[in-house]
A and B are shown apart, each in its own frame.
Chain A
Amino acid sequence: MRNRALHIIGWPALAAALIALPYGLSFSQQEVLVFLTINVLLVASYRLLTLTGEWSLGHVVIMGVGAYASALYTKELGIYVPISMILGACTAALVAMLLSFPLFRMKGFYFLIGSFAAGEIIRLLWKRFRDPFGGPKGIKKIDPMPDFDIGIYSFDFFEPISYYYLALVVVGICLWIMWRIERSPVGLTFHAVHWQDKLAEAAGVNVRAYRTLAFVIASGFAGLSGALLAHYIGTVNPNSFDIEMMVFVLTWAIVGGTATFYGPIIGAIVLTILNEVVLREMGFEQMRPLIYGLLLICSVLFLPKGLESVVQKVLARRNGSGAAAAGEEQA
């Protein structure tokens, strides 16, 4: 009953809040909101990848593959932007599929290093080949999302609000799909592969295929987040997808916690707010890597289970008191 009510009231309320949100923000804050929405997709897809127990350092580069691919499809082939975004996501998934052959011969630490090396090789190719990747300067003047009108609202994609709504819908659908995957038998198998790959294999699970599957799906969503980014800022270059960005993603995931679906998302939101509200206002923006590093260490030391553990505790207490209240009503 409680749960039903929460669903019926909670989701529309959240949707309304998210729709109203940009009206309370300044122009530059609205821009940050767009980036945040895209980053939520990125970090949520990263968690999907970690479900099978492997942590990659190449995820941001895979995001870049989606960004470059989508940019090139529109520029070189004249493909309609929304279609090219989806093709960009597919390209990222395909590249991940190819990378999985060498990478999944490795496990744990070696996989981590291998994924970093693979990412750096891709970045090197972007820098090395001016045609078509534009070399170190990257690709400029990427086609924006074409404006359109849905009757009640006309989208003008030079406005961050419009792009925010677009990103919100796309990211919302993607999160819903990832959620469905995780709660399905496929998701259970991912967890099984993570906790005991030997036992999973004894039950007939092709462990390597499932690791690859998680990697490919996660990379597809990361690629889509990259495509969203590319057509918003209109330019991509190898440095937008460097290891520093990867460290941010790791920090969001670790500070938020990766045991729950929402943990990394909370991490991304809280740290972005912290970054924008505190650091930028106070003029500490330059020190972002340093402060992220400190936060990472503090969260490992003092909140090893991440921000999600705080949420879980609060929810448990509320449910507990709710059950107690229900008991009193009965009495």
Chain B
Amino acid sequence: MTVPFLEISGLTKRFGGLTAVDGLGFKVEHGAIHGLIGPNGAGKTTTFNMISGFYKPTAGQVRLRGEEISGLKMYEVARRGVVRTFQHSTLFAELTVLENALVGTHMSFRPNVFAAIIGWDAEDRRGARGRAEEALDFFGLLGHAHERAGDLPHGHQRALGMAVAMAAHPDVMLLDEPFTGMNPEETNRMMALMFKLRDSGVTILIVEHDMHAVMGLCDRITVMNFGRFLTEGVPQEIRTHPDVIKAYLGGVRHVA
């Protein structure tokens, strides 16, 4: 038996009396695009926060290639290859687009104060810049490299968030609602980029409300409701699953 690539088991988070995530478990295969969906407030972002080390789980584990990563700090999780984006456009708004992407290269080109003062890090700086520009180019942002990130239109800001994550060359990317604020055309283009990213070997775990995107992208989908695991399957099964339809009809949004 092989070890699952990313395995979540019994994951639980309580905020005081509220149980936001309750014994959640699922597995993500290497090289897959895996969807995590559910009505508003189902606990998707909280799950991401626990996988990425932003929150410590109240109970349960997250394992990457069999190694437990839950309870590690966020930068330690990132250094093991799991990099996330944030639900709201979280960017270095005051920095330029290129500088944002450069921060993403932090792990590969670890800055060093002494080298920086003497000027012995020229090669690293070139490498980091190349990597950052590559990530910007991938998301079509290279033309905006010297603009202030906070001045970008919303869709571009979402793309930049992903470019920052991609510049880190992660093994797993956690994307929290990457398509919000994008028009259908941008969404389609972004979906094509996700496939490209997946084909380059990145495993993607994605939370998204845009059902057209989720159904089109994902190899497998896990559905959660009120913090609990509801069901899991390929998009075709999820689309027609009675429990899923009921959960969404009870909630705010509808399955497309």
Contacts and interface: CB of A to CB of B under 8 A. Distances in A.
- Are A and B part of the same complex? yes
Interface of A: 177, 180-181, 184-189, 191-192, 195-196, 198-207, 213, 217
Contacts of A196: 90-93
Interface of B: 52, 54, 73-75, 78-79, 83-86, 90-95, 99, 102-104, 106-107, 109, 111-113, 116-117, 119, 121, 124-125, 128, 164-165, 168
Given A202-B52, A203-B78, A203-B103, A181 B117 contact: yes
Given A185-B125, A188-B102, A201-B75, 14 more contacts: A181-B113, A184-B111, A184-B113, A185-B106, A188-B103, A191-B92, A191-B94, A196-B90, A196-B91, A199-B92, A202-B75, A202-B83, A203-B78, A204-B83
A189 B128 CA distance: 13
A200 B99 CA distance: 12
A204 B128 CA distance: 14
A198 to B, nearest CB: 7
Contacts of B164: 199, 203
B142 to A, nearest CB: 19
Contacts of A207: 75
A198 B107 contact: no
Contact of A186 (B73, B93, B112): B112
A90 to B, nearest CB: 15
A200 B121 CA distance: 21
A186 B118 CA distance: 13
A192 B167 CA distance: 15
B84 A205 contact: no
A187 B165 CA distance: 20
B116 A198 contact: no
Contacts of B168: 203-204
Contacts of B117: 177, 180-181, 184
A203 B116 contact: no
Contact of A199 (B91, B99, B119): B91
A98 to B, nearest CB: 19
Contact of A205 (B99, B103, B165): B103
B116 A186 contact: yes
Given A189-B106, A192-B95, A192-B103, A202 B78 contact: yes
Contact of B116 (A184, A201, A205, A206): A184
A201 B74 contact: yes
Contacts of B102: 185, 188
22 contacts: A181-B116, A184-B116, A184-B117, A185-B116, A186-B111, A186-B112, A186-B116, A189-B103, A192-B92, A195-B93, A196-B93, A198-B74, A199-B86, A199-B90, A199-B92, A200-B92, A202-B52, A202-B78, A202-B84, A203-B164, A203-B168, A205-B103
B200 to A, nearest CB: 19
A203 B107 contact: yes
Nearest to A187: B116
Contacts of A206: 75
Contacts of A191: 92, 94-95, 99
Nearest to B108: A204
* Residue picked from B75, B86, B102, B165, most chain A C-beta under 10 Å: B75
Contacts of B73: 201
Nearest to A200: B103
A177 B85 CA distance: 34
Contact of B113 (A198, A205, A217): A217
* Residue picked from A192, A201, A202, A205, most chain B C-beta under 10 Å: A202
Contacts of B75: 201-202, 204-207
Contacts of B121: 184-185
A195 to B, nearest CB: 5
A212 to B, nearest CB: 12
Nearest to B79: A204
A185 B78 contact: no
Nearest to A177: B117
A181 B121 CA distance: 12
Nearest to B115: A184
B64 to A, nearest CB: 15
Contacts of B104: 203
A185 B109 contact: yes
